[in-house]
Amino acid sequence: MKTVELGRTGEQVSQLALGCMLMGTTTDEASANTMLNRYLDAGGTFLDTANCYTWWEERGSLGGHSEEVLGRWFASTGRRDDVFLATKGTALVKDLDAVWVDDQPDWERAYQNFDGAGGDNLRRSVDDSLRRLQTDHIDLYYVHVDDRSTPLEESLEALAGLVQAGKIRYIGWSNVRTWRLERIRQLCAQHGWPAPVAVQQQHSYLRRKAGLSHISIVDDEQLDYLQAHDDLTLVAYSPILKGIYDDAAKRAKHPMMALYAGPDADARIAAVEDVAAEVDATPNQVVLAWLLHQTSPTIVPLMGPRTLEQYDAGIRAVDVKLTSDQLGRLDAAGA
C-alpha cells in the first residue's frame, strides 16, 4: 500500500485508513483482530477511532468499545508502534436518558448533549482514551464535532498543552465549517499553538444535492480551501456512503441518499458503473480508487467495514488502476 504525507508534517500514513468505529459492537472482537492484522500485513498504518464509538448501539452505553478493543489488540500483539493512531473527543453524550426515544437514539437531541471542547473535558477525555487504548500517546487527536459554545482559545490552548505534554502529537478537526477552520488557523498562528494537520469530513464521489447546507459534507468552498492549504489533509469518512454504489435497491431506500439524490447523482453513478465494468471492479471499489487518485487536495479515504468480507472488498481498491481517460470521465460526469 502506498503512503501519503499528512499535511506538511513529514509524517507518512497509508493512503487508505481503517475506520475502527464498529469494533467491539457490531463487529465482534475476534473479527476486529483479524481485520487489524490483515490491514497491517497489507501495509496499512492509519487507524481511526473515537471515544464515543459506539454508544448508540446499546442503551445506557457511553461508548469506548472500539478504543478498548484496540487497546487489547495493542497489548496482545505489541504492534502499537506499527500504526499511526487517531482518535477523537467532544462527542460523548452527557445525558443518555435525554437522547433515547422509544429505544432509539434521537440524533438531534444527541447533538444538543455532546460534552464539547472545553479545556477540562479535553484533558479528561484524552486521559480516558489513553487508558482504554493502553498507550502513552495518540498520534492524531480530533475535535470530533466543532463546538461553538466554547471559545476556540480555550480549546486550542488545552490541545497545545496536551501536545506539549506528549499525550498527543498532532491535532485535527472534524464536522466543521470552512470559516471556522480559518479562524482556528489564525488563532494558532497568533499564539504559536499547534495547528490542525487534518480535517475529517464526509466526502465521496457523489456531490451533495444542490442547495443542501450540511456542516459535515465537503462543499465547493471547503474543497477550494483545502486545495489552497496543503498543510491540511482531508480524511474522507463514509467514502462509499454505506455501500450504496454497489446496490441499486439499497440506494432506493437508504437515508444517506437523501443528501445526494438527483440528476447529478444519477449521472455519476452511471459513470462509476461503466468504469467498474471496464476495470473488473465493483462500483464501491472504483469510488475508493477515484479518491485515492486525488492529489489536490490529498485525500485519505477512511473505510469502516463491519465484516471481514467488507474489509476484503474494500482493501482491493488500492489495486484498482484508473487511466487518465477513466478519471476524466468520472470527473466530468454529472451537471
271 domain-assigned? no
The cell for 188 is: 494558532
Distance CA 54, CA 287 (A): 26
- H or E stretch at 330: helix 324-332
191 domain-assigned? yes
The dihedrals phi and psi of 46, each to the nearest 5 degrees, come to -105, 105
Residues in the chain predicted with pLDDT less than 50, given as ranges, are: none
- What does the radius of gyration of the chain's CA atoms come to, in whole angstroms? 19
Q: What pLDDT does residue 215 have?
A: 95
In 3D, which of 283, 308, 306 has the Cα closest to residue 204?
A: 283
329 domain-assigned? no
Distance CA 15, CA 302 (A): 9
The cell for 58 is: 446499546
* Strand 100-101 versus strand 104-105 pairing type: antiparallel
pTM confidence score: 0.97
258 domain-assigned? no
For 86, other C-beta atoms within 10 Å of its C-beta total 28
DSSP per residue, 212-280 = ---TTB--HHHHHHHHH-TTSEEEEESTTGGGGGG-HHHHHH-GGGGGT-SHHHHHHHHHHHHHHHHHT
Distance CA 228, CA 244 (A): 31
278 domain-assigned? no
The single residue listed with the C-alpha cell 494537520 is 197
266 domain-assigned? no
Distance CA 16, CA 10 (A): 17
Distance CA 139, CA 135 (A): 11
- Going by the DSSP 8-state scheme, the letter that residue 317 receives in this structure is G
DSSP per residue, 35-78 = HHHHHHHTT--EEE--TTTTGGGSTT----HHHHHHHHHHHHH-
Per-residue pLDDT of 103-118, as tens digits, reads: 899 999 999 999 999 9
Please check whether residue 15 is in contact with residue 3, taking contact to mean a CB–CB distance below 8 angstroms: yes
For 30, other C-beta atoms within 10 Å of its C-beta total 9
The cell for 254 is: 437508504
Per-residue pLDDT of 269-299, as tens digits, reads: 999 999 999 999 999 999 999 999 999 999 9
142 domain-assigned? yes
For residue 210, what is the domain's CATH number? 3.20.20.100
Owning domain of residue 111: 3-244+292-318
213 domain-assigned? yes
- Going by the DSSP 8-state scheme, the letter that residue 23 receives in this structure is B
- Total number of domains constituting the chain: 1
Q: What pLDDT does residue 335 have?
A: 78
Q: What pLDDT does residue 310 have?
A: 97
Q: What pLDDT does residue 195 have?
A: 98
